[in-house]
């Protein structure tokens, strides 16, 4: 199995609204992804729906191609009994250089019967409106691809190798990195100490409110560490496509 090193960075770049930005790169394959997203939630009886507002761009430097994509919605089901999560909605993917685009549909489970995590997709050649590929299956299971040439291909995502991420020890993390910042809340939850977790959470929130008041009083806007505002989105400050790797 070929192994490559991935580098992933995420940061909350805005608090009102709460926007998160993500960047991932693989120098060996000359690939990187930059994305920003913020969420809108709504309650639907026994479910909670979360819309992902924003978009991402996959850069394939070897081919000088950029694929712009949107994100699916997420649904938390049976929130008062045994909760479970599924994806739903349509995702668009478009590459201006190649002239191809795709629509990926995440199908939510019907109330009675039906499979979970089902997905279908179509890839289209934009100038001729020709469907060159169709896909169907489960996004976390087996996917079957059928091409206009008649060729078929099957991918079983459950058999793909899983590589655990490596993270710096807490003492080497920055003051505001999530695992370090929320370590006491996390530990209390692991121990089943809900009161302790709530207390630590309130302390963090009070501190954040105090820091926000201080910034407002001194007119010092929140400045992200890793991302720069560009138009309506956020871009990593040192992406792979700027380093000519």
Task: List pLDDT tens digits, range 205-233.
Answer: 999 889 889 988 998 888 899 999 998 89
pLDDT above 60 for 245: no
Look up the pTM and report it. 0.86
Kindly give the pairing relationship between strand 152-156 and strand 142-147. antiparallel
Beta bridge partners of 167: none
Task: List pLDDT tens digits, range 49-73.
Answer: 999 999 999 999 999 999 999 999 9
CA distances from 221 to 16, 19, 213 (A): 12, 15, 11
What is the Cα–Cα distance from 210 to 214, expressed in whole angstroms?
Answer: 6
Instruction: Report residue 228 as tokens.
Output: 């720069």
Task: List pLDDT tens digits, range 7-35.
Answer: 999 999 988 788 999 999 999 999 999 99
pLDDT of residue 67: 98
Task: List pLDDT tens digits, range 198-207.
Answer: 999 999 999 9
């Amino acid at each position: 199995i070929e192994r490559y090193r991935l580098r992933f960075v995420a940061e909350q770049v805005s608090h009102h609204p709460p926007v998160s930005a993500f960047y991932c790169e693989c120098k060996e394959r000359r690939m990187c992804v930059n994305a920003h997203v913020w969420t809108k939630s709504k309650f639907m009886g026994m479910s909670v729906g979360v819309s992902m507002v924003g978009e991402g761009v996959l850069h394939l430097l070897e081919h000088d191609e950029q694929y712009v994509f949107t994100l699916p919605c997420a649904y938390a089901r049976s929130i008062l009994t045994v909760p479970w999560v599924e994806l739903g909605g349509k995702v668009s993917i478009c590459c201006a250089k190649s002239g191809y685009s795709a629509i990926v549909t995440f199908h939510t489970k019907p109330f009675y019967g039906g499979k979970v995590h089902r997905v279908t997709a179509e890839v289209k050649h934009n100038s001729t409106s020709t469907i060159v590929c169709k896909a169907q299956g489960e996004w976390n299971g087996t996917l079957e691809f059928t091409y206009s040439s008649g060729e078929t291909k099957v991918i079983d995502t459950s058999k793909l190798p899983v590589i655990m991420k490596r993270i710096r020890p807490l003492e080497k993390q920055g003051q505001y990195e999530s695992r370090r910042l929320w370590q006491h809340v996390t530990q209390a939850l692991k121990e089943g100490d809900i009161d302790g977790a709530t207390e630590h959470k309130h302390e963090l929130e009070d501190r954040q409110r105090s820091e926000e008041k201080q910034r407002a009083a001194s007119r010092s806007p929140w400045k992200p560490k890793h991302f720069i505002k560009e138009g309506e989105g956020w871009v990593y400050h040192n992406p792979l496509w700027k380093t000519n790797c």
